[in-house]
Amino acid sequence: MAAVTAAMVKELREMTGAGMMDCKKALAATDGDMEKAVEFLREKGLAGAAKKAGRIAAEGIVATAVAADEKKAVIVEVNAETDFVAKNEKFQTYVADVAAQALTTSAKDLDAFMEERWAKDETLSVKEALASQIAIIGENMNIRRFEQVEEANGFVASYIHAGGKIGVLVDVETDVVNDDIKDMAKNVAMQAAALKPMFTSRDEVSADYIAKETEILTAAAKNEKPDANDKIIEGMVKGRINKELKETCLLDQVYVKAEDGKQSVSQYVAAVAKANGASIKVKKFIRFETGEGLEKKSEDFAAEVAKQMGM
């Protein structure tokens, strides 16, 4: 049986929000398997859906660059060690240069991007230019990721929140492009930034995802109502999955600016389309949050967990 460590308990607690002792029990019951421990807690009704990104602790900024015709855009994340550097003008200028290059790159992944010539000084590769910036700024930095979006039959909208903590691109297919429709796209991007959806629409949700959620929620429902028959359990699960999808699918979410508090994002998009005599489809979104999935060491917290749990 795998030993349950304080660091494992800490990680599970951050992923689920469950109590320390519950996390310890879950890890013990699943032989230290983190994913099974998350499922164990959810089945017992002790945790919500896992937030695998964990705590956001790494510093840096997210930036976007959009082509002049707005048919292509890119989003990048560049990390630094401290918030002080992230707010530094030299660092921000460098990140803008990275975004500008990523907009035009033909590289299909980060490794290939790092090996290409740096547009600001072609005697250097992107990797060597990064090393040069590290020497100048005096702090470790990392180009973590980038993603391009192209839309030939419409445009790509961009939104940056909180000075680069969150960035969003929205791919809009439309036969009409005007200020009203651009405002709509920005509002949808702001929605994605604020409410952190997992999918654009239900079309993106895989059968495997639904099957797994059904399994977990069925176990949770049976724990809640052990005397309920299968039909009642099935109804409970169906309702909970529907509620979950309304929260995790961007177009199903309640539009945050809706006056009645009921209009969904898809209904908002449809209303704008009707008002402008347009055919509009929000095809996808890309959302980057600085430090997503990264975590600084926190030895003191781990030690505190160990102390409280007698480890």
Place of tokens 């791919």: 171
Tokens of 147: 């993603």
User: Is position 70 within any domain?
Assistant: yes
More confident residue, 268 or 13: 268
Q: How many helices (H) and strands (E) does the chain have?
A: 12, 8
* Domain co-membership, 63 together with 131: yes
* Domain co-membership, 22 together with 71: no
User: Is position 99 within any domain?
Assistant: yes
Tokens of 186: 């920005």
Where among 126, 149, 172 does a domain terminate?
A: 149
Mean pLDDT over each residue of the chain, to the nearest integer: 87
Tokens of 136: 């100048």
User: Is position 185 within any domain?
Assistant: no
Domain ranges, residue 142: 55-149
Number of domains the chain is built from: 2
Tokens of 211: 């099957």
pLDDT above 60: residue 297: no
User: Is position 166 within any domain?
Assistant: no
pLDDT confidence tier of residue 46, bands split at 50, 70 and 90: confident
pLDDT confidence tier of residue 295, bands split at 50, 70 and 90: low
Angle at alpha carbon of residue 163, lines to 157 and 166, rounded to 5°: 55
* Domain co-membership, 81 together with 133: yes
Give the Cα separation of 186 and 54 in Å (integer): 27
User: Is position 300 within any domain?
Assistant: no
279-291 pLDDT tens trace: 999 999 999 999 8
User: Is position 86 within any domain?
Assistant: yes
Instruction: Kindly tell me the burial class for residue 259, based on how many C-beta atoms sit within 10 Å of its own C-beta (0-12, 13-18, 19 or more).
Output: exposed
* Domain co-membership, 14 together with 83: no
Q: CATH number for the domain including 89? A: 3.30.479.20
Give the Cα separation of 310 and 6 in Å (integer): 10
* Domain co-membership, 34 together with 120: no
Give the Cα separation of 146 and 76 in Å (integer): 4
User: Is position 301 within any domain?
Assistant: no
* Domain co-membership, 68 together with 136: yes
User: Is position 202 within any domain?
Assistant: no
String of DSSP letters for 177-220: --HHHHHHHHHHHHHHHHH--SBSSGGGS-HHHHHHHHHHHHHH
Q: CATH number for the domain including 24? A: 1.10.8.10
* Domain co-membership, 79 together with 136: yes
DSSP 138: T
Pseudo-torsion of CA 66, 67, 72, 74, nearest 10°? Answer: -40
pLDDT above 70: residue 117: yes
